[in-house]
Structure 1
Amino acid sequence: MLGECQSLLLTISLQDHVSDRLPTKANLISRCILSLAAHHCVSSCGKVESAQHLFLSCSTFGSLWSLVSSWIGSSLVIAQTPSDHFVQFTASAGGFRV
């Protein structure tokens, strides 16, 4: 499970530096794949679905990070970007393993 979280965050971190390719609704709308009316988060929280929202501020999905932190025995530090989350969680697990 931890390895899957690390892989996902690595993908997001790398994409964050190149371009936003994570298929969030905000990104799909900006690429004219979805209509503007379909911008709400899949959790029905009423916010725009972006990577920042899903991983950091969503009341449903963002709150999972405190559970993951507790599970791996790490203190939770609130990150400002998905890339910061990647650094925090890989460091907590002893670094990224390729």
Structure 2
Amino acid sequence: MWLWRPDFTRGYSVRGAYQLLTSQPPDSLDTAADLIWHKQVPLKVSVFAWRLLRDRLPTKSNLVARGIITPEAQSCVAGCRDMKSAQHLFISCSIFGSLWSSVRSWIGLSSVDPQHLADHFLQFTFSSGGLRARRSFLQLIWL
């Protein structure tokens, strides 16, 4: 997300806009995409995660967008009546998304789930701090 903080002494400048754009931290999607290619994860799992993070899975909402199924058929299979998107299915669904709290409890973590898949992956992976072995372990669990 970009946040423009105007320079009241000089006003808007192309240089200021360039500095704003180049000083931003990398996009969470790009950072997450770099982490899904783990040597201990089968290639098909990494490809699935890559497609998931880019919303390229054949979810009901994507099938409706392409005209393959009707809008009436896009409700979640869990019966929660929400539109079945990858975001909903993996994070916000009251049935399937609630599995994350069970996983966190199982491994002794506590956190709040972000509402975007890439942010969720990064928070879960880096929730252990700087310990590389633990981070790798959490990365494998998420994938």
1:25 and 2:71 equivalent?
Answer: no
Q: CA RMSD in A?
A: 2.6
Tell me which of 71, 78, 90 is aligned to 2:113: 78
Quick check: which has more Rg, 1 or 2?
2
Question: 1:25·1:39 contact (CA, 8 Å) conserved in 2?
Answer: yes
Distance 1:9 1:66, change over 3 A: farther
SS of structure 2 residue aligned to 1:59: coil
Q: CA deviation at 1:31?
A: 1.1
Question: 2:125·2:135 contact (CA, 8 Å) conserved in 1?
Answer: yes
Indicate the structure whose relative CO is greater, using CA pairs within 8 Å and at least 6 residues apart: 1
Q: Gaps (5+ residues) in structure 2?
A: 1-40, 128-133
Deviations 1:5-52 (A, max 9, x none): x95884222x2xxxx212210011101121222110010111111122
Q: CA deviation at 1:75?
A: 1.3
Distance in 1 (CA, whole Å) between partners of 2:46 and 2:111 is: 19
Question: 1:94 corresponds to which residue?
Answer: 135
Amino acid at match of 1:94: R
Q: Gaps (5+ residues) in structure 1?
A: none
Question: 1:69 corresponds to which residue?
Answer: 104
Distance in 2 (CA, whole Å) between partners of 1:80 and 1:49 is: 15
Aligned pairs, number? 89
Runs of 4+ in 1 over 6 A off after TM superposition: none
TM-score by length of 2: 0.53
TM-score by length of 1: 0.74
